[in-house]
Structure 1
Amino acid sequence: MTAAVERPSVDLLTFGESMVSLRSAGPLSAGGALTMHVAGAESNVAVGLARLGHSVTWAGVVGADPHGEFILRQLRAEGVRLEHREVAARRTGVMFLEQRTADVTRAFYYRSGSAGSTLCPEDVEQALSTGARILHLTGITAALSLESRKAVEYAAEQAAGAGAVVSFDVNYRSKLWSREEARKVLAPLVRHAGILIASDDELGLVAAAPDSAPGTGESAMVAEILGLGVREVVVKRGAAGASVHTPEGRWDAPAVPVTSIDTVGAGDAFTAGYLSALLDGADVAGRLQRGVLTGAFAVSTAGDWEGLPGRAELALLGTTPSGATQR
């Protein structure tokens, strides 16, 4: 009898809905050309880590249609391993992204009843069984459907129990649910997380005290979250940089100065850099620095993930003068 060969574990496992993004350079109502891209917070992080040399698995569901085929092809091309299911009866979700002005981008979703929203615990069970050093989750997946919510809860509990680091990005989307609905679902998930990632206006969705409570500031909410067993609370501040709170103290890093072209996907790029440095054994300050650096690549290039750096490119920003040509 031939002994079973165990599949090697990966550095990071993530799952969620990836969609086709059709991008417009101007108002959609005026017509014009659209460009086709892959969009999805979890797959953005997966691509970011794969480009930095880590082994990554993305689990998800797509329709048995050209859009789903496009997503799978793009992720494979980036070196991301796939644990996916194709559904003939459902379509792959689509979103339109409109560059309404130089400073305002609007997203229009066509994802209700999509193949991705049928993701369930069984879809992630096999991926979990192979092992991962980090499980990365977002609040977006929990908002898609009851089954997707169960998948997030199941994965968080299983991964934490197996000793994996659970990274949880709140990633609140107001077009998917209200803050009150999100708080009821997301707050209980925090007890499984080793790393909580949130923008400064999302902390109140997972802290014990609602963000509407008078006098509830960041330090109080962070203290509550750390008291639940979270080891690191990472706060994304956009153009103001980012912070990390741990029981040992607080670290801050300013944003890397670049010319901003497209801010979509910047938070996911930051997360990819932060988790990459964690996998490399960097300290908190080092993780924070790589996070703001990969975030800078994202905002200074077009696309959700297309401009994310390879490991050899990390030194391009901060060392090359603005506008210079590296020869």
Structure 2
Amino acid sequence: MDPELVTRARVLHVTGITPALGDGPRAAVRRAVDLARAAGVTVSLDLNYRARLWTREEAAAELTHLVTRADIVFAGPDEASLVVPEAEPATMARTLLDLGPREAVLKLGARGAVAVTRSARAVQDIVPVTAVDPIGAGDAFVAGYLAGLLDDAPLPGRLLLAATCGAFAVAVSGDWEGLPRRSELDLLLGADVTR
């Protein structure tokens, strides 16, 4: 890994899949996170738990460590329960903040999403589309949220952009084929979702 690629970035995004692949990938994720934190780069973590790759116990230990080092955490409720007690989504998100991140986002699938910071909370319904294939929706959601963050959008705007990208992803087959260009973002809502 080229340390300069990490230290010059505005955001480092990692997922729980990589450390599940073995000791080498786990060490690489930890090193990248350490480099990013030392350089003041925002660290984003999607728990992205995959039961086929490791046990809940193994995942809980490593993901808890990564949550304490992250600035932004994304998870579904089941994934979040690896790290914090089960509760309603906003409570789980707030409990994740107690571990160190400044933002926590709970992805709720067809029920939308909730995001919390130490001073704000936002709830987002799904953007209605005819769902064709759910593969890639979570990654598209996170990409939209982080794009909004990089654009300095407020919390509700980041969530709307995330939900819009997720909606584009599920509207076609494949995990990336439906991802929108910036010029296409307003096609689903008829309004500028980047503000």
TM-score (normalised: structure 2): 0.92
> Does residue 1:268 correspond to 2:116, yes or no?
no
Question: Percent same amino acid among aligned pairs?
Answer: 48
Q: What do you get for the CA RMSD once the two structures are aligned? A: 1.6
Q: How does 1:133-172 map to 2 (within 5 A)?
A: 133-172=10-49
Structure 2: unaligned runs, 5 residues or longer: none
Secondary structure of the 1:245 match is strand
Q: Distance in 1 between matches of 2:90 and 2:42?
A: 24
Secondary structure of the 2:75 match is strand
Q: Distance in 1 between matches of 2:156 and 2:82?
A: 26
Secondary structure of the 2:169 match is helix
Secondary structure of the 1:263 match is coil
Partner of 1:244: 115
Secondary structure of the 1:205 match is coil
Partner of 2:100: 229
Shift of 1:193: 0.7
Shift of 1:222: 3.0
Structure 1: unaligned runs, 5 residues or longer: 1-122, 321-327
Q: How does 1:186-201 map to 2 (within 5 A)?
A: 186-201=63-78
The letter of the residue matching 1:198 is: A
Shift of 1:276: 0.4
Q: Across the two proteins, how many residue pairs are aligned to each other?
A: 191
Task: Compare the two structures and name the one with the higher strand fraction.
Answer: 1
Q: How does 1:1-327 map to 2 (within 5 A)?
A: 123-129=1-7, 131-207=8-84, 209=85, 211=86, 216-319=87-190
Q: Distance in 2 between matches of 1:260 and 1:222?
A: 27
Larger Rg: 1 or 2?
1
Q: Contact 1:232–1:245 (CA<8 Å) still a contact in 2?
A: yes
Shift of 1:219: 4.7
Secondary structure of the 2:54 match is coil
TM-score (normalised: structure 1): 0.56
Secondary structure of the 1:202 match is helix
The letter of the residue matching 1:127 is: L
Q: Distance in 1 between matches of 2:109 and 2:39?
A: 33
Q: Distance in 2 between matches of 1:287 and 1:261?
A: 24
Q: Distance in 2 between matches of 1:299 and 1:168?
A: 22
Task: Compare the two structures and name the one with the higher helix fraction.
Answer: 2
